[in-house]
């Protein structure tokens, strides 16, 4: 009845994000090399560990002009993780259309509701995260609303290591649940920035345990 999608923007061009918090250019080869290293170390293995306990499709969006050397790495992810779906688009203006097209292509006649969850490419999910979201939605019979994973860890890896517990409302790990009535009616969690979902829909806080790690490093946009 529910179909679950995890969504990540990797290096899609965004006119609102051309430099990181230190005013260094993003999306060039140096940035990509660093970001793929973080992805390999933190994000990919954490999401991969979730597939043992939960069924979902991971839609990961890349720039149409991603260099060949990195496309080879993307192909390796697909081999390791068949639910990993790389999608190449020109810029952020095409993101919502591409998400909705892929969801529409993946659903079947049994699909009544769509869950879309977001995770950034330098962050991590607890191995129970996707399972916990799905079970919470079903247990509470949520047909429309947001599931907010409010508890997690903030881990700083540079200039020195630090880790602390965090409470984050309307977090970058938020999920949107909505009825599926075809392509034209879909919104998805990427319809607006995560912090702008606050009070837009009924919100359910899933706060049993920390279910994510937000990474703090030199090339973050803000934090």
Read off the pLDDT of each residue in 82-103 and give the average, rounded to a whole number. Answer: 95
At residue 67, the pLDDT reads: 95
Beta bridge partners of 148: 205
Q: Which CATH class is domain 2-216?
A: alpha beta
Quickly state the pLDDT bin for 23 (edges 50, 70, 90): low
At residue 220, the pLDDT reads: 53
CB 79 within 8 A of CB 103: no
**CA-CA distance, 215 to 126, in Å (whole number)?**
13
For 101-109, the CB contacts below 8 A with 24+ separation are 101/183, 102/5, 102/59, 103/3, 103/5, 103/183, 103/186, 103/188, 104/182, 104/183, 104/186, 106/3, 106/5, 106/57, 107/3, 107/180
At residue 16, the pLDDT reads: 61
Q: What is the pLDDT of residues 34-74, one digit of tens each?
A: 999 999 999 999 999 998 888 999 999 999 999 999 999 99
Give the residue extent of every domain in the chain.
Answer: 2-216
**CA-CA distance, 35 to 223, in Å (whole number)?**
16
Give the total residue count for the chain: 223
On the question of pLDDT at 143 being above 70, the answer is yes
Quickly state the pLDDT bin for 102 (edges 50, 70, 90): very high
Quickly state the pLDDT bin for 18 (edges 50, 70, 90): low
Read off the pLDDT of each residue in 160-174 and give the average, rounded to a whole number. Answer: 93
On the question of pLDDT at 28 being above 70, the answer is yes
- Torsion angle (degrees, nearest 10) of CA 188, 194, 195, 200: 20
Element (H, E) at 74: helix 68-80
Distance of alpha carbon 109 from the chain centroid: 26
At residue 197, the pLDDT reads: 80
């Amino acid at each position: 009845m529910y179909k679950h999608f995890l969504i990540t923007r990797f290096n899609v061009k965004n006119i609102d994000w051309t430099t990181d918090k230190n005013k260094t250019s993003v999306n060039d080869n140096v940035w990509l090399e660093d970001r793929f290293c973080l992805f390999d170390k933190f994000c990919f293995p954490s999401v991969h560990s979730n597939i043992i306990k939960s069924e979902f499709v991971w839609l990961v969006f890349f720039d149409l002009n991603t260099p060949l050397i990195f496309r080879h790495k993307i192909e390796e992810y697909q081999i390791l993780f068949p639910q990993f779906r790389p999608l190449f688009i020109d810029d952020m203006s095409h993101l919502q259309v591409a998400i909705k097209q892929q969801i529409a292509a993946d659903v079947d006649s049994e699909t009544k509701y769509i869950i879309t969850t977001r995770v950034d490419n330098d962050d991590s999910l607890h191995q129970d995260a996707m399972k916990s979201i799905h079970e919470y939605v079903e247990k509470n019979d949520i047909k429309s609303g947001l599931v907010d994973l409010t508890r997690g860890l903030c881990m700083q890896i540079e200039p020195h290591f630090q880790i602390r517990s965090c409470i984050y409302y309307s977090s970058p790990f938020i999920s949107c649940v909505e009825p599926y009535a075809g392509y034209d009616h879909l919104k998805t969690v990427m319809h607006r920035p995560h912090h702008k979902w606050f009070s837009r829909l009924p919100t359910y806080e899933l706060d049993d345990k920390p279910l994510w790690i937000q990474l703090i490093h030199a090339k973050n946009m803000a934090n």
